[in-house]
Amino acid sequence: MKRVVITGLGVVSPLGCQLEAFWDQLTSGTTSVRPLTKLDRAEYRGNPLAAEVQGLEDVDLADGEDLAPYGQAVHYAVAAARLSLEDAGLPTYLPSPNNHAVIIGTTSGNQDMVERTINHFDLQTTEDELSDEAAQMLAHFRPLELSATVASYYNLGGANLVIPTACAAGNYAIGTAYSLIQQGRTQLALAGGADPFTRSCYTIFYRLGAMTQQDIRPFDENRTGMVVGEGAAMLVVEELEHALARGARIYAEVTSYGLSCDAYHSTAPDPEGSGAILAMEAALRTGQLTADDISYISAHGTGTKANDAHEAKAMAKVFGERLQEIPVSGLKSLLGHCMGAASAFEAVASVLSIRDQRVPGTRNTEKLDSSFAIPFPLRAASETTPVRHVLSNAFAFGGNICSVIFSQYIPR
C-alpha cells in the first residue's frame, strides 16, 4: 500500500497569506472576524460580521495569465497553489510530461460571477436580456475553472476535479487525492478548498438565522452562531517515495479518510450524529487505528446550536470516555467559516500541529455546553502536547461528511 504525505502548504486566508504568520495567529488566538466590508452593511440587520481575506496583494503571481475575468475563488486558488508549490520546494511551472492532479473543494464555486453579471449589467428581473457580453462574463461561472485554471497555470497534466460538497469540500479533496495516489493514478496532487465571498452565501446564512452578531463560540453553552468567511488553502499531497526521491520536507502523513451522508435534511445535521459517527469510524477503521490513538480532534465546530450538539454527540459515541482526554479545538472561532476552504484551512492547521507538537486553542468559548454527554478539553490557549494522529471533521449542507486522519510521519 502506497503511503501518502503532505509536503507543501499554502493559504490565502482571513488571517493573511503567509503560512507562518497564519499559524502564529492561530496559536496565539488572533481572530480574523471583523465588521463586514464586502457588502452593504445597511442591508443586513444587526451587527453583520465577516472573515474576509487579507493580504492577497502580497502574493506575487509573477507573469501568469491575467485573472481579472475569472471568479474570485479562482484567484484565491491560483495564489494558494503557488504558495503551496513554493513551500514544497517545487517549481511553479512543472515540466512536461506529468500527471500531477489538482482537486479543489468549494461551496459557492464561481457564484460571484453571477453577481458580477447582475451588477455590471444592472439586471433587475429574470426576464432581462443576457447580451453576448453578459454571456461571456457568465461563462466564468463554471466551477471547473477553479481546478482547470490552476492546472493550466502551473502545467499540471493529471486528473483535475472540483468537488462542490459545500463546507466539507476541502476534506473531500484531500481524501480524493489520497485515493488517486494510493491507486497509482498520480504521485503528486494539489488538494484543498477555495471559496469566494458572495452575496448569496452571506444571505443564505443570514436568512437561515445561523449567523452570530457577536463572537463565534464553538461548543459553548451560550453559542449564537457562525460567521461567513472566504479564502483558499492548498496542500501538496504526495506519494512517499516520490517525496523522498526529491528530498522533500515531509510535514505529515495522510493516514485515512471516511465519507458518509447523514441522509437527514438539506440544511440541518442529524441530531443523532449518524453520518458523523459513520465518517469518523470509517476513518479510524481504514487507518487501522482506534479511538485511543487519536491525540487531537480538529472539530467542525461552527458555533451553531445544531452543528455543535450533533458533533459532540457523535464524538461521544465514537470516543466514549476517552473523549475527556483528547484536546479538541474549533478553529472557526478564529477563521470564521470559510465554506469550501474551511476544512482545508483546518487541514493545514492539523498538519502544523503535528509539526510543532502544539494544538491551537478555541477563542471565545467560556463554558462547554453542559448538555453534552461527555465533556472534552476545549481550551482557550494553544498548548504543547504530543500530537501523533489528528482527526479533522468536516460537515456540510446535504449531510455530506468527511473525516480525515493526519499522522506524524514515521519512516518504516
Partner 1 sequence: MATPLDITISSVGYTSAAGTGLEAFWQQVQSNGFTTSIRHYDPQGYMGAKGIRYLNRATLLYGNVAYQCIADHPTLGEFIRQHPSQVGLYDGSDLSNIEDGFVFDLVAKVEGPDKASPMSAPNTIDNASSSQMAIKAQIKGPNVTVCGGACAGLQALDVSLLHLTQGMTSYGIVGTTEVTSRYHEAVRRGEQRNTTLPAAPEMGIAVGVERSQNAMPAPYGRILSVASGQRLTGETNETLLARLVETCQGPVAEVAADYCIVGGGGHNLDPRQLRAALQAAGVQAQVLFPETVYGVGDNAGGLAGLLFGLGLQQGRGSGLPAAYLDGVYNDQLPGAPQSGCHLLATIDTLGYGIVLLFSKN
Report the catalytic residues: 167, 300, 337
Report the distance separating Cα 11 and Cα 342, nearest Å: 11
| Cα separation of the two ends of the chain | 13
Nearest residue (CB) to partner 1, 8 versus 158: 158
Choice between 8 and 109, CB closer to partner 1: 109
Residue from 13, 31, 72, 111 touching partner 1 (CB under 8 A): that is 111
Can you tell me which of 21, 61, 67, 123 binds partner 1, judged by CB under 8 A?
A: 123
**Is 47 near partner 1 (CB under 8 A)?**
no
> For residues 176 and 382, which CB has a smaller minimum distance to partner 1 in the complex?
176
- The piece of 21-29, 106-114, 315-323, 342-350 that touches partner 1 (CB under 8 A) is 106-114
Q: Is position 174 an interface residue for partner 1 (rule: CB under 8 A)? A: no
Burial letters 253-262, b for 16+ CB under 10 A, else e: bbbbbbbbbb
**Residue 340 in grid coordinates:** 469550501
Looking up cell 463554471 gives 142
Q: Total binding residues for partner 1 by CB under 8 A?
A: 84
Other C-beta atoms within 10 Å of 355: how many? 18
62 is a site residue for partner 1 (CB under 8 A): no
Residue count (the chain): 412
Closest CA to 296 of 399, 213, 210, 384: 384
Residue 44 binding partner 1, by CB under 8 A: yes
Query: Is the Cβ–Cβ distance between 14 and 336 less than 8 Å?
Result: yes
Q: Which is nearer to partner 1, 116 or 389 (CB)?
A: 116
| Ramachandran region, residue 122 (left: φ > 0; alpha: ψ -120 to 50; beta: rest) | left
Quick one: how far is CA 336 from the chain centroid? Answer: 11
For partner 1, the binding residues in 234-253 under the rule CB under 8 A are none
**188 backbone φψ class: left, alpha, beta (φ>0; ψ -120 to 50):** beta
Residues between 202 and 221 with contacts to partner 1, criterion CB under 8 A? 202-204, 206-208
10 binds partner 1 (CB under 8 A): no
Which class for 35: exposed (0-12), middle (13-18), buried (19 or more C-beta within 10 A)?
A: exposed
Q: Applying CB under 8 A, which of residues 162, 188, 234, 294 lies at the interface with partner 1?
A: 162
* Residue 297: C-alpha distances to residues 323, 390, 400 (Å): 9, 6, 19
| Residues 17, 36 contacting (CB under 8 angstroms) | no
Query: Which among 3-11, 29-37, 114-122, 308-316 is the span making contact with partner 1, rule CB under 8 A?
Result: 114-122
92 binds partner 1 (CB under 8 A): no
Question: With CB under 8 A as the contact rule, which of the stretches 193-201, 291-299, 315-323, 326-334 interacts with partner 1?
Answer: 193-201
Could you say whether residue 120 binds partner 1 (CB under 8 A)?
no
Smallest separation (angstroms) from partner 1 to the CB of 385:
31
Q: How far is the CB of 16 from partner 1 (least distance, A)?
A: 28
How far apart (Å, rounded) are the C-alpha atoms in residues 20 and 17?
A: 9
Residues 381-410 that bind partner 1 (CB under 8 A): 396-400
As measured in angstroms, the least distance from the Cβ of 245 to partner 1 is 17
